[in-house]
Structure 1
Amino acid sequence: MALNFHQLHIFFTVAEKGSFSQAAHALHMTQPAVTMQVQALEEYFGTKLFHRSTKKIELSEAGKTLLPFAKRSIELIKETDVSMSRFTHKLEGRLHLGASLTIGEYILPRLLGPFSKDYPSISVSMKVINTTQILDEVLNHQLNFGLVEAEVRHPDVHTEALLSDELVLIVPDQHPLAAREIVTAADMLQYPFVLREKGSGTRSVMEDELRKAGIDPGDMNIVMELGSTGAIKSAVEAGLGLSIISKSSLKHEVKLGVIHIKEVENIRFSRSFYAIYLNSTILPISAVTFMTFLRQRELSQWL
C-alpha cells in the first residue's frame, strides 16, 4: 500500500476534531469509512496513531510526529490548486463521466452551466445510469470516473465525497399525513411505498438509515419499484404511495403543492454524493478540474 494524501487528510481531520464521528461529519463520510482509512494509515506506518478510549481519543507519540507533516501536505495541495487554477481555465477537451440517476437528472444539469462558463473549452458527455452500473463500467475501464449517490466499498476503487444531499419522505397532496408537520416511522409504515430499484444509491442510503433507527426495511409495504426519480414523483403525485427521495429533485413539485415533504421523527436521511474511480487510474485534467469545481463552491444557490 502506498501513502496517499486522502488518508493524511482524514488523519489530520480526526486529530483536529478530536473525534472520529465529528471528522466523519466534516468530511461527509461515514464513521466506519473514516476509521478504516486511519487504520490503513496505521498499518502503513506499523504503529498506532491514536490512543482510543470510550470517552476520547488522543494522539500517540507517532501521531504527534505525523501531524505537522499532514498539515503541511494539506497546505501544499491547496497552494498547488490555487497556483494551477490560472492554467486550467484554458483547458480544452471532452469530459466523459457517469452519473447516477438523481445526480444526472437533477444535480449536474444545474451545475454544468456555471462550469461551462468557467471552462468554455471543455465539452461534457454524461452517461446517466444507476450506482451499480457505474461501478461496473469504472471497473471495466468503460468510464474514467463516476458520480454516485452512496459510498462504494471496493478494493480497486477510490471513493471521495464531493457534495452533500438529503433524502426526504414525500406524500401526495390531500394525503392523511400531508397536514402533519412531523411523521413518526410507525405512521409512515402504515402506507404503501413507491421506491427506487435495489442497486440504486438512493435505495441503499434509505435502507441503511432505517436500520440505524431500528427499523427493518422489509417491514415496508413496497407496491412498486421504479427506475427513475421522475417516475417515482409522478407515482406519488398520483396517490400510488409514499416515497423517500432526494430533496434536491423536488423543487417544482413542492412549489406547485402537488407533493409535500414531511420530517420523520428521529430519522434524518443525510448522505453525500461521491466521485469514484480506479486506484490505478490517472484522471485526465478535465476530470480533476471538474471535481475541484464541485468541491470548492457553495452549490446551494444552484440547487
Structure 2
Amino acid sequence: MRLDFFDLQLFLNVVDTGSLTKGAERSNISLQAASERIKKIEQQFSVNLFTRHASGVKLTVAGQTFVEHSQQLLQQIQQLQQAMLPFSQGLRSEMTLWCNSSAQSEYLPALLPQYLIENPHVQIDLQEAESADIILALDKGTAQLGLISSFFNSNDLQTLEFADDPLVLICPKDHALKHQSALKLIDTLNFPFVGLMQYHSLQQSIEAQAKILNCAIQYRLRLPNFAAIAQVVSNGVGIAIMPQRAAKRLNEFYHFHQIELEGDWANRKLLIAAKNFDELPVSYQHFAQFLVSKKSLLTV
C-alpha cells in the first residue's frame, strides 16, 4: 500500500473547507484531479470517507477516523523533516562525553575514529574527570553521558557495562617487589612512586585511596601519560599504578614487572552512565548504543 502525503493534506483541506472544490483550490490542483485522488484513497481502504450533497461534503464515521490518523501522520512527517534538516544543511552535532583517564587514553582512541568517520556531522568533546565528579555532574544534569569506574556509587544513575578495567602495579625488573604476585595498596606505599600529573583523574583516585589509609604517596616524578611512566619505571626510577590494558600494551616496548592489585577500587569495570538513557538526545542515545556494541572488542 502506498500512501501519498499530498493526498492526506488534500483530504484535510477538503474536510477543513467542507467542499471538494475549495479543497482542490487550496491544494492547487483541479477539481477532477482532487476527486480522483480522494476516490483512490477510498478504494485503497474500501470505505467511503465522505457523503456528497449539494452544499458540499460531510465526513462519514470512517472519514472521521481517517482525519485523526492523517493529522498524526502529517505531524510526524513534519517532525521528521525538522529532524533531518540539520543533516541536510551540513550542520554539526556536538556531544560531550565525560570520562576518566583510563577511558580517555586506553579505550576511546581505538573506537572514536570509526564512529566519527561513520558520522561526519558529529563532533565529540572529551571531558576528563574523576569518576566521582562525573557521577555528580550526571546527577546535577551538567553532564549527559559519562564513562565511570564501577568502584564509585552510581545507584542514582542508569549504567551499562562497557569494559573490564583493572589497575596493576608496575615495578622495575630488579625491584624488591618483583616476586609478588598480588599486593594491597598499603603494601606499596613505603616505596617511591612515579605518577601522573595532579590533574589526571586516575591519580586523584589513587591518592584518595592512600588518604583513606592515612598515608601519602611519595613521588619521585610526575609525568603526563602512561608511556612516559612506563619508560622511567623500566629504567628503575620507581613504581607506578596504571590500567592493566595500558601496562600490557607498553610492556611490549619497556621491560617491567606487572603485579595484581587487590581491592574493589583496583578491580574495577568501566560503566557507561546517564541519568536516564531514554531521555537523552537522539545523538547521545546513538553514541551510547555504539559504545555498548563494541564491548566484546575491549578485552584486557
Q: Structure 2: which amino acid aligns with 1:271?
A: R
Q: Who is 2:293 aligned against?
A: 296
Q: 1:187: Cα distance to partner?
A: 6.4
Q: Structure 2: which amino acid aligns with 1:182?
A: S
Q: For the structure 1 residues 260 and 248, does the alpha-carbon distance in structure 2 shift closer, same or farther, using more than 3 Å as the test?
A: same
1:282 and 2:282 correspond: no
List runs of 5+ in structure 1 lacking aligned partners: 1-90, 211-215
Q: For the structure 1 residues 141 and 168, does the alpha-carbon distance in structure 2 shift closer, same or farther, using more than 3 Å as the test?
A: same
Q: Who is 1:261 aligned against?
A: 258
1:177 and 1:111 mapped to 2: Cα distance? Answer: 35
Deviation per residue, 1:82-120 (Å, 9 max, x gap): xxxxxxxxx873332111112112210111123234444
1:222 and 1:140 mapped to 2: Cα distance? Answer: 32
Q: For the structure 1 residues 201 and 148, does the alpha-carbon distance in structure 2 shift closer, same or farther, using more than 3 Å as the test?
A: farther
Contact 1:152/1:276 (CA < 8 Å) preserved in 2? no
Q: Who is 2:217 aligned against?
A: 222
1:162 and 1:280 mapped to 2: Cα distance? Answer: 15
1:124 and 2:119 correspond: no
Provide the alpha-carbon RMSD of the alignment.
4.1
Q: Who is 1:107 aligned against?
A: 107
Deviates more, 1:180-189 or 1:120-129: 180-189
SS class of match (1:276): strand
Contact 2:162/2:291 (CA < 8 Å) preserved in 1? yes
Percent of pairs with identical residues: 22
Give the aligned length.
204
List runs of 5+ in structure 2 lacking aligned partners: 1-86
| TM-score normalised by length of structure 1 | 0.52
1:272 and 2:242 correspond: no
Structural mapping, 1:39-188, within 5 Å:
93-153=93-153, 156-178=156-178, 180=179, 182-183=181-182, 185=184, 188=188
1:165 and 1:274 mapped to 2: Cα distance? Answer: 10
Contact 2:135/2:154 (CA < 8 Å) preserved in 1? no
2:213 and 2:232 mapped to 1: Cα distance? Answer: 20
1:254 and 1:147 mapped to 2: Cα distance? Answer: 25
Contact 2:189/2:217 (CA < 8 Å) preserved in 1? no
Q: For the structure 1 residues 135 and 182, does the alpha-carbon distance in structure 2 shift closer, same or farther, using more than 3 Å as the test?
A: closer
| TM-score normalised by length of structure 2 | 0.52
Higher relative contact order (CA 8 A, sep 6+): 1
